[in-house]
Structure 1
């Protein structure tokens, strides 16, 4: 399974229009493409950061979707008032305790490891991080996406609500430190986002 994420730092006044465009236009346009298996949209309303991610059954399907995706991304960037950053990933791990509901909130963490340590980092996430996350109240799901060539990756942990994420923030911070140490990773950035659209149909990958 593969995924493409497009990140745009939007003007705060344009966020709701951007959400409407992605829901009403981008989502329906992508649904009919071969190999498409869903879309999610994360929004950090404090900073205006918007992260739209589409998932694909294969790397070939993801590549074939680029012309359509590029067109809609450009229009979304115009609406949101920011320049997009695009990353393409292998979906290395995904575990879903239960489906998310309206009001879900996501901790997103970007990190990098040496390319030769990518498998080690993925194993650490699957075998240690996910079981630890399952013990947290309000935990919904977790995923890890990676670029094996560069060692760049992003982990997302979804909770049922912003209150649940806030309640678990200290435990998340401690778990991140352990994961980083065990995987030999460097954390590059992190943010907490509202899960605005959740239509990914990626199967369990652990």
Structure 2
């Protein structure tokens, strides 16, 4: 599968306007596109950050959908967004455990690596990191997104509630340290978000 992420920052007081637009008109636009497999919206209401993720069966489906969404994106995010960045990734690892829930938590680790080490990263995440995360209370899903050309990626760990997210920090920190060393990656960002919704149907 393939994903597109939209990362927006702006006035925290206006973030719910963007959330409502993405969950109604935005989702309707996505669902009409061939190859659509789901989406998620995640927020940091305190700082004014919003992360939207859409999932696609093929790279072509994702690319074609962006032609429509590019024209509508600014309108959906107004008046909240002051900055918007869009990135495309391949889903290298998708490990579902249970259905995520609204009000749950998402932890994002942003990665940089030598593009030649992309497969090493995927293998390490699958063999080393996932087994460390799997027993964590409340884990809903763990995913690894990669951009093979740019050497960048994201690890996304979803938990069904915020208490489970908080309780996992030390164990995931140890797994992140071990995995980064084995896969020769640099962790360049670490963020946490509230789950507004997170639906994906890979098959």
TM over 0.5: same fold? yes
Greater fraction strand:
2
Matches within 5 A, 1:51-130: 51-130=51-130
SS at match of 2:62: helix
Structure 1 CA distance for aligned equivalents of residues 64 and 166 of structure 2: 39
Distance of 1:79 and 1:40 partners within structure 2: 20
**Cross-structure match for 1:148:** 148
The gaps in structure 1 that reach 5 residues or longer are: none
Q: Cα deviation per residue 1:30-72 (whole Å; 9 max; x = unaligned)? A: 1011111111111112221101111111111111111211122
Matched residue, 2:201? 201
Native 8 Å contact 1:111 1:152 kept in 2: yes
Q: Distance in 1 between matches of 2:77 and 2:18?
A: 8
Q: TM-score w.r.t. structure 2 length?
A: 0.96
Q: Secondary structure at the match of 1:145?
A: strand
Measured in 2, the distance between the counterparts of 1:85 and 1:72 equals 14
Which position in structure 2 is the counterpart of 1:16?
16
Structure 2 unpaired stretches of 5+:
none
Cα deviation for residue 159 of structure 1 reads 1.0
The whole-number CA distance in structure 1 between the counterparts of 2:178 and 2:87 is 26
Listed as ranges, the matches of 1:32-43 within 5 Å are: 32-43=32-43
1:174 Cα deviation from its structure 2 partner: 1.3
Q: Deviations over 1:58-93 (max 9, x none)?
A: 111111111211122111332213221010011111
Give SS of 1:84's match: strand
SS at the partner of 1:116?
helix
Q: How many Å apart are 1:197 and its aligned residue?
A: 1.6
**1:47 paired to 2:32:** no
The DSSP-based 3-state class of the residue aligned with 2:172 is helix
Q: How many residues are aligned here?
A: 203
Deviation at 1:117, TM superposition (A): 0.6
The 4+ residue runs of structure 1 with deviation greater than 6 A are none
- Secondary structure, counterpart of 1:106 in structure 2: strand
TM (normalized to structure 1)?
0.95
